[in-house]
């Protein structure tokens, strides 16, 4: 009886750890999902930045900041036509994946963290 309780507790911990890892975002998936973003958001050794208007650099940005910004664009709290269109097509999981990918690029450039 006691060992069953222990087994259930262990199973619950395993599941919640798994969920926490997913919530953190998958950078490998984010790399694929962010291909449309890169046309505007220039990253280190990526040169086709828009010449006429400034696009914030996302490489090395904190994942939590990126997710928050995308949610605000999606909801309209942060107004920007282009980014509203971009963010509206993303699920929460895709936002987390993309954010994890951009954050992971931080070490490559100037190494600022």
Residues that bind ligand HEC (CB under 6 A): 34, 36-37, 39-41, 53, 55-56, 58, 66, 69-70, 80, 82-83, 86, 98
> What is the C-alpha to C-alpha distance for residues 73 and 91, in angstroms, rounded to an integer?
13
**Token pair recorded at residue 2:** 């006691």
Q: Which is nearer to ligand HEC, 22 or 77 (CB)?
A: 77
Give whichever of 22 and 80 is closer to ligand HEC, judged by the CB atom: 80
- What is the rounded (10 degree) CA torsion for 83, 88, 91, 95? 10
Q: How far is the CB of 21 from ligand HEC (least distance, A)?
A: 21
CB of 107 to ligand HEC, least distance (A): 19
* Tokens of residue 101, six digits: 């990918």
Return the residue nearest ligand HEC (CB atom): 37
Left if phi > 0, otherwise alpha if psi is -120 to 50, otherwise beta: which for 23? Answer: alpha
- Smallest distance, ligand HEC to C-beta of residue 13, A: 33
Residue number with CB closer to ligand HEC (10 or 28): 28
Smallest gap from Cβ 2 to ligand HEC, in A, equals: 49
Burial of 73 (0-12, 13-18, 19+ CB in 10 A): buried
């Amino acid at each position: 009886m006691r060992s069953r309780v222990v087994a259930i507790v262990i199973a619950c911990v395993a599941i919640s750890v798994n969920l926490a890892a997913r919530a953190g975002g998958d950078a490998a998936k984010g790399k694929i999902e962010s291909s449309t973003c890169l046309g505007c958001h220039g990253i280190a050794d990526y040169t086709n930045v828009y010449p006429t208007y400034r696009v914030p650099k996302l490489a090395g940005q904190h994942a939590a900041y990126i997710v928050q910004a995308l949610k605000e664009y999606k909801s309209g709290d942060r107004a920007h036509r282009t980014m509203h269109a971009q963010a509206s097509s993303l699920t929460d999981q895709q936002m987390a994946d993309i954010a994890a990918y951009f954050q992971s690029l931080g070490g490559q450039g100037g190494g600022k963290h």
